Amino acid sequence: MVIGNAFDPAEQGFDVRNLNFFVQSYFNNGSEVDFLTKPRVHHGLLYIRGCKLEVFLPSGEVICADRGDLLYLPKGSYYRSMFSEVSDSPPSLLFNFDLERDRKPYTFSNSVVHIESIKNTAISEIFERVMNEHSTYVGRMADFFGILRLLCENSLRGQRILAGKHSPVAPAIEYIELHSKEDIPIRLLAERCHLSESFFRKKFVDALGMSPKEYCLKKRLERAKLLIETGELNVSEVSYLLNFSSPSYFSRIFKKKFGVSPIRLLQEDI
């Protein structure tokens, strides 16, 4: 599944609804989930954390997922799954969600997709963070969009999450996804890619069409907009949370990016 480079779910017309996160500590050896008689009600992203999972499809195909693998489970799909060799708790983590694009139901695939070995990548780290931080709904949504963005920029079936022309700066992109609240030094990003700072800047622009500083700011502002739209925080609190130098500076660059001040957006959503 390759949707495009520098993919942004929101800008591409995607809308995620009914997002829920489940820590599946209740599964043991031999536990089964049966969607052969009734199809899945929601899409799912299932991270196999501490077990093995066999997925039996109506066609007779069997998908064998191991620890560290990810499964995309389409809404409306039929299958039966069985857990085995449960060693860690929880054995699996699940995002359930509904997905639309341009206000129409959307699916990435009509059948179950097996993504091998995402352990120790930005995606697995996001799953672990959501499990441990007990974040708000808006926080989970921001993290889920981070996962969706990483998957949609590349092939789901590839062994590498970020590939092709992104490969030299992939560690930097993953780091930015995980630390979007921070003002990240470019030197740190270059070091993670084992590149000189000047060469890193060039390869980053080649890959994403913008400088690393612009990309980092873009991600922080997108997270800020999501926080403002929920109405849970005021402008000063969002500015502080996302480490902007001052609320006035935050308001100025926010308006430049979105064409409306954060206080005006907050008032419109109240």
Residue 9's pLDDT band (cuts 50, 70, 90): low
Higher pLDDT: 197 or 167? It is 197
Query: pLDDT for 102-120, tens place per residue?
Result: 788 888 777 788 887 787 7
DSSP single-letter state for residue 82: E
Q: Which domains does the chain have, with CATH numbers?
A: 1-117 (2.60.120.10), 162-270 (1.10.10.60)
Check whether 5 has a pLDDT greater than 70: no
Task: Find out whether 19 and 97 touch, Cβ atoms under 8 Å.
Answer: yes
Contacts of 74 (CB under 8 A, 6+ apart): 40, 43, 107, 108, 109, 110, 111, 112, 113
Query: pLDDT for 174-190, tens place per residue?
Result: 788 777 777 889 999 99
Strand pairing of 80-84 and 32-34?
antiparallel
Residue 19's pLDDT band (cuts 50, 70, 90): very high
